[in-house]
Structure 1
Amino acid sequence: MGRFTFRLPDVGEGTAEAEIVAWHVAIGDTVEEDAPLVDVMTDKATVEITSPVSGKVVVRRGEPGEMFAVGGPIVEFETDGGAAAEPVTAVPNPTGQRNTEAREAPPTTPKSERTFPLMGEALGMGVDGGAPSEPGANEAASLRAPPPSTLTPAPPPSRGRGSDTPAFFESTPERPLTSPAIRRRAREAEVDLAQVEGTGPHGRVTLEDFNAHLARPAKAAAATPDEITEVKVIGLRRKIAEKMSEAKRRIPHFAYMEECDVTELEDLRVHLNVAKRPDQPKLTFLPFMVRALVKALPRYPQINARYDDEAGLVRRYSAVHLGMATQTPNGLIVPVIRNAERRDVWALATEIGRLAKATREGKATSAELSGSTITLTSLGPLGGLMHTPVINHPEVAIVGPNKIVERPVVRNGEIVARKMMNVSSSFDHRVVDGWDAAEFIQTIKGLLEHPATLFLD
């Protein structure tokens, strides 16, 4: 028997640390090579890290919500084949804190080789106290990142198993199939996993299933007047909180709303869906809204821009890289339609569908989640009458259509039923003046109310 120490690899370009989102193993578990090990989140994406070896987990460091330094020993395995144990050294972290609670199995490692795991709050903690010891020749090999095959996109974390799945992994009413980390969270939250609907292979309860179950309103009969549920803000929810706080703190928002008569546009949309080819996607309202945006923006270059307030520089873009605010089981994510101005409504509908699917499944790439120059946000049929969207920093504008409602309006002195929709928007007042913002939304209104102009060059 031997010991193998697995160190957290660099999961991004120059990432110094990552947040632990969810564990798929517990101390004492026996795992196969390339099996899911832990989900971690960087500034850009969540990544599922898989096991580089087959063996028994004897040490596991860090809990969900904690920051862990790249290169730090995160898991130790007991392996067959007599592999020598890799030295484990503390990893420096600039925040200067150390946890004194080791997560190790019954002591099989000499005291001189024991180390302290990295712990800390969601804002990032680490290990203090001087520089680490210089790695020797044997340790140098342990510092190498695992092969690319050990890194795969994260959610959904479930993996299918063949028909020869051992009985231990079969889901039963008494013991649903899930990861040890989710079982621990269920115990802490006093959740009966038998009541959680699993969508993974063999009925496996995934992290998304568990979070969705927690998000459902509790039955009134089970609630008590002083019941309090504490939910730790980690992972994507922490990133969203940080980004929204930064946007509201740094950007002086102002909002503008206008109503649009989209009766003709809706009639055209229905007609195009009836007449479309089998290989063409079904058209929703969004491709037309995107088309109106990209038609209007060339007249207002200060709106298709990003403001670097630290450098005092506004970067205006000729190309429209449109962010599409997308709701996922884990929170709001903004994938980007590159060069939206070059696409017709059919191509836009195809790309919107592709990006939304990839984002909700956790398969969107880092490049597909960054670089937007303006954002479109829509709540679909739940859009309400109006809203005040938060600008996606460092952009300077965000536009959001609300729901379409048929209501009576006055046209040519007569009351008639029309399909009306409000357009809500927010702008960075340091870059965009109120008059320009109003003209921009009025231009969009004119394009939507006369849909033929959406197809004119």
Structure 2
Amino acid sequence: MAEHTIKLPDVGEGVAEAELVEWHVKVGDLVREDAILAAVMTDKATVEIPSPADGEVIWLGAEVGDVVPVGSPLIRLIVEGAVADDKEADAGNASSDEAEKSAPPIEPAGEKETDKIRADVPSAETTPEAAEAVAPRRPLASTGLPRPEGEKPLASPAVRLRAREAGIDLRQLPGSGPAGRITHEDIDSFIARGAQPAARGLMPDTSVEEIKIVGLRRRIAEKMALAKSRIPHITYVEEVDVTALEELRSKLNGERKAERAKLTILPFLVRAMVKALAEQPHINARFDDEAGVIHRYGGIHIGIAAQTNAGLVVPVVHHAEARDLWDCAAEVNRLAEAAKAGTATREELTGSTITVTSLGALGGVVTTPVINHPEVAIIGVNKIMVRPVWDGTQFVPRKMMNLSSSFDHRVIDGWDAAVFIQRIKTLLETPAMIFVEG
């Protein structure tokens, strides 16, 4: 048996540190070679750390949310035989050895939760007086009473796993083992009763789960806080009749070639924004409020806010002014798939000059979108609903959609915001104008 230390590898591109965003193992776990042990995030990507060998995890060197320098000890394993540490990782990282020396002492591999519990239980040779001093008495299973509020039930990992798979809340089970410990027999008895709590009636749930904000979620939180604290938002809402646009979209999709992407409303909106921004280029900008400088861009780089399992990301349709409707559709689809799969590159996630946000069918009636700092505008798309609209003689059903858009009021006046949205409204309500050049 030998001990093997796994250090945070050099993930390349000059990255000196990474944030630990997820542990896939815990102390005491047995892992196979190439099994994923942890995931770390840099400002460029998320990187998974595999196990170099079969072994048992005996030490974890960081907590989720910690920023770990490259070359620092991350995990220690007990492995069969001797596995040489990565010498290449040590080369050029003179501080690695010092970091390892300063790491917390290793707990003995055998000292797991079960051992600690046994240490608290008096042995047969312990006197009654010593036993009382070592471990105060707890109510036994026979009482059938719920645990005091906040008291964590004692159980081995195997019992906890079985309870979790069976959907059993261990807080509802009294324990018949030493110090009120829950055993497999207690679970059997619980199931035999028809999976009913020993204490009848509704049970209050006083649990509080602590969820640390890490990784992408922390970056989103920081970005949103920055935007709301530094940008005075003005939100302008206008309704748009998209009946004609939806008819055109349906017809184009019905006649499209097989290699072309299916049209959603977003490509039409992107093309409408390109035409509107040509008339109001000061909205296609970023504001450096510390330097007091507005950077107005000739190229139109439209960020498309996309929801992923990890959180909100904003892939960018670069140079939308040089793309036709079908090209916009293909690029929007490609970026959305890359974002959901977590394969979007740094270049694909940066450089936007204005952003579109949409919740699709869940878009609600009105939203108040937060500007993607340091941009000065964001266009929010709400869901399409059929509503009765007065045409001058009668009410007729029309497909209506609201645009809820926010602007940086330091550099965009309310009048300019209204003119911009009204121009987009006109283009969307008369979609043939989107294709007219000049």
Q: TM-score, normalised by structure 2?
A: 0.71
Contact map agreement 2:2 2:83 (CA 8 A) in 1: yes
* Residue of structure 2 aligned with 1:235, choices 215, 220, 227: 215
Between the aligned partners of 1:380 and 1:103, the Cα distance in structure 2 is: 51
What do the CA deviations read for 1:194-248 (whole angstroms, capped 9, x no partner)?
Answer: 66xxxxxxxxxxxxxxxxxxxxxxxxx9884755443322222221111111110
Contact map agreement 2:73 2:103 (CA 8 A) in 1: no
1:187 Cα deviation after fit: 6.5
Report runs of 4+ in structure 1 exceeding 6 Å deviation.
none
Output the amino acid matched with 1:63. E
1:447 Cα deviation after fit: 0.6
Output the amino acid matched with 1:339. H
Distance 1:2-1:191 versus aligned 2 partners, 3 A rule: closer
What do the CA deviations read for 1:285-322 (whole angstroms, capped 9, x no partner)?
Answer: 11111111112112211111111222222211111211
- 1:262 aligned to 2:234? no
- SS in structure 1 opposite 2:218? helix
Report the structure number with the largest CA radius of gyration: 2
* Residue of structure 1 aligned with 2:253, choices 251, 254, 273: 273
1:83 Cα deviation after fit: 5.3
**Aligned residue runs from structure 1 range 238-257, under 5 A:** 238-257=218-237
- 1:438 aligned to 2:410? no
- SS in structure 1 opposite 2:427? helix
- SS in structure 2 opposite 1:443? helix
Between the aligned partners of 2:202 and 2:267, the Cα distance in structure 1 is: 44
Number of positions where the alignment pairs a residue of Structure 1 with one of Structure 2: 352
1:42 Cα deviation after fit: 2.5
Between the aligned partners of 2:316 and 2:81, the Cα distance in structure 1 is: 48
- SS in structure 2 opposite 1:384? coil
Between the aligned partners of 1:90 and 1:355, the Cα distance in structure 2 is: 43
Between the aligned partners of 2:406 and 2:163, the Cα distance in structure 1 is: 41
- 1:192 aligned to 2:172? no
**Alignment gaps of 5+ in structure 2:** 91-95, 111-155, 168-200
Single out whichever of 17-26 and 287-296 deviates more from structure 2. Answer: 17-26
The corresponding residue for 2:45 is: 45
What do the CA deviations read for 1:134-178 (whole angstroms, capped 9, x no partner)?
Answer: xxxxxxxxxxxxxxxxxxxxxxxxxxxxxxxxxxxxxxxxxxxxx
Distance 1:430-1:16 versus aligned 2 partners, 3 A rule: farther
Output the amino acid matched with 1:410. W
The corresponding residue for 2:64 is: 64
Between the aligned partners of 1:249 and 1:338, the Cα distance in structure 2 is: 28
* Residue of structure 2 aligned with 1:357, choices 337, 340, 356: 337
Q: Percent identity?
A: 54
Between the aligned partners of 1:293 and 1:405, the Cα distance in structure 2 is: 22
**Aligned residue runs from structure 1 range 157-236, under 5 A:** 192-193=164-165, 224=204, 228-236=208-216
Distance 1:366-1:193 versus aligned 2 partners, 3 A rule: farther
Output the amino acid matched with 1:277. K
Distance 1:193-1:66 versus aligned 2 partners, 3 A rule: farther
- SS in structure 2 opposite 1:232? coil
Output the amino acid matched with 1:40. V
- SS in structure 1 opposite 2:358? coil
1:455 Cα deviation after fit: 1.3
Distance 1:372-1:61 versus aligned 2 partners, 3 A rule: same
1:193 Cα deviation after fit: 4.9
The corresponding residue for 1:168 is: none
Output the amino acid matched with 2:256. K
The corresponding residue for 2:175 is: none
- 1:23 aligned to 2:3? no
Greater share of helix residues, 1 or 2? 2
**Aligned residue runs from structure 1 range 111-122, under 5 A:** none
- 1:7 aligned to 2:7? yes
Between the aligned partners of 1:347 and 1:317, the Cα distance in structure 2 is: 21
- 1:346 aligned to 2:326? yes
* Residue of structure 2 aligned with 1:299, choices 274, 279, 285: 279
The corresponding residue for 2:149 is: none
CA RMSD in angstroms, aligned pairs only: 3.3
* Residue of structure 2 aligned with 1:452, choices 422, 428, 432: 432
**Alignment gaps of 5+ in structure 1:** 93-98, 108-182, 196-220
Between the aligned partners of 1:64 and 1:401, the Cα distance in structure 2 is: 35
Between the aligned partners of 1:456 and 1:187, the Cα distance in structure 2 is: 66
1:44 Cα deviation after fit: 4.1
1:396 Cα deviation after fit: 1.0
Contact map agreement 1:60 1:104 (CA 8 A) in 2: no
- 1:423 aligned to 2:395? no
1:7 Cα deviation after fit: 2.4
Contact map agreement 1:373 1:395 (CA 8 A) in 2: yes
Distance 1:194-1:245 versus aligned 2 partners, 3 A rule: farther
Between the aligned partners of 1:428 and 1:410, the Cα distance in structure 2 is: 34
- 1:383 aligned to 2:366? no
Between the aligned partners of 1:338 and 1:69, the Cα distance in structure 2 is: 34
- SS in structure 2 opposite 1:49? strand
Distance 1:223-1:351 versus aligned 2 partners, 3 A rule: farther
Single out whichever of 1-10 and 252-261 deviates more from structure 2. Answer: 1-10
The corresponding residue for 2:379 is: 399
